[in-house]
Amino acid sequence: MSNTRHFTSLLDITSDEFRHIIHRAMALKTHRDPNYQPLKGQVLAMVFEKSSTRTRISFEAGMVHFGGSSIFLSPRDTQLGRGEPLQDSAKVISSMVDGIMLRTDKHETVTTFAEHSSVPVINGLTDQQHPCQLLADMQTYFEYRGDIQGKIVAWIGDGNNMCHSYIHAAMLLGFTLHIASPEGYYPLPEIVAAAGDSVRFFASPVLAAANADLLVTDVWASMGQEQEQQQREVAFKDYQINAEVMAAAQPDALFMHCLPAHRGEEVSAEVIDGPQSVIFPEAENRLHAQKALLEFLLASK
């Protein structure tokens, strides 16, 4: 069990492995071979405590492309929702499948599963991290601009799960992350502290965006924070990526957003639907990046 590789965080892989997964994702996208079925007969269990479009579809489609299958598990319909201990659930589920993907509220749910699972556990988003999205975002950057090492990425908005995974990506791939967040909505200090010089904070979106090669944002209220929407609209009102913020960046800077997006809140319609936005290739790349991750974790078994 101890040799089992998990993907609870980007920090579960090395820089070289991150680049390997990105390049495999690009290759799998360019040359789709229906006869390549490295996961033939394998089963992925997918636990979703929260809603999903992209993550669910990309994992399901990816397993089918690779000759395997997946099982969608909602806590509402399983004993997980009735309080069966996570340890017991992890042991039982992992005794029947080849991999487990979880989208949960608490990050500890995923790490506890990983501790007790005999098969790889994948973080499909927690309140703290969203590492799968970073595989797709970085694949997209590499496709458009080449390696991101030495570049500047501006994160504008909430210091949330996406922001934390961007910090991890900066550490692993060697870019600098400029962060502009309203007071009270900064990323977790322990995650920032571990990143050293990879992260710099700025007092406004325009200052953070200066010379950036990539600008990224996310919703002001994440899943589970819906009741804070109004108070967050006040706190974040000056933290929109709009034409003025884009103008501070490099002229060829890209714009990304994990989606779903709220036009007119964290990003103007002009920017998200404009020529520098790559949100739809980014979303499609969830499929290719996930396949590369599944191949990395499961195919060599």
Q: In this chain, which of 219, 246, 249, 297 binds ligand NVA, going by CB under 6 A?
A: 219
CA distance 113 to 132: 17
Binding segment (CB under 6 A) for ligand CP, from list 10-18, 49-57, 108-116, 272-280: 49-57
| Residue whose structure tokens are 């936005």 | 277
Active site residue 42: no
Q: Would you call the peptide bond into 260 cis, given omega within 30 degrees of 0 as the criterion?
A: yes
Active site residue 218: yes
Among 42, 128, 129, 133, the active-site one is 133
Binding segment (CB under 6 A) for ligand NVA, from list 80-88, 100-108, 214-222, 282-290: 214-222
Nearer to ligand NVA, 162 or 253 (CB): 162
Q: In this chain, which of 55, 70, 117, 129 binds ligand CP, going by CB under 6 A?
A: 55
Binding segment (CB under 6 A) for ligand NVA, from list 13-21, 159-167, 201-209, 272-280: 159-167
Picked from ligand CP, ligand NVA, none, the partner binding residue 161 (CB below 5 to 8 A depending on kind) is: ligand NVA
Q: Which of 185, 143, 145, 136 is nearest to 165 (CA)?
A: 136
- Per CB under 6 A, which of residues 119..178 are in contact with ligand CP? 125, 133
Q: Which of 160, 279, 133, 287 is nearest to 215 (CA)?
A: 279
Cα separation values, 85 from 40, 51, 105, 111, Å = 31, 22, 16, 14
Environment class of residue 111 by beta-carbon count within 10 Å: exposed (0-12), middle (13-18) or buried (19+)? middle
Active site residue 129: no
Strand extents, DSSP E, the chain = 43-48, 69-73, 99-103, 121-123, 152-156, 176-180, 199-201, 214-217, 254-257
Q: How far is the CB of 41 from ligand NVA (least distance, A)?
A: 31
Enzyme catalytic residues = 103, 130, 133, 218, 258, 286
**Which spans of this chain sit near ligand NVA (rule: CB under 6 A)?**
125, 130, 160-162, 218-219, 222-223, 258
**Which spans of this chain sit near ligand CP (rule: CB under 6 A)?**
52-55, 125, 133, 258-259
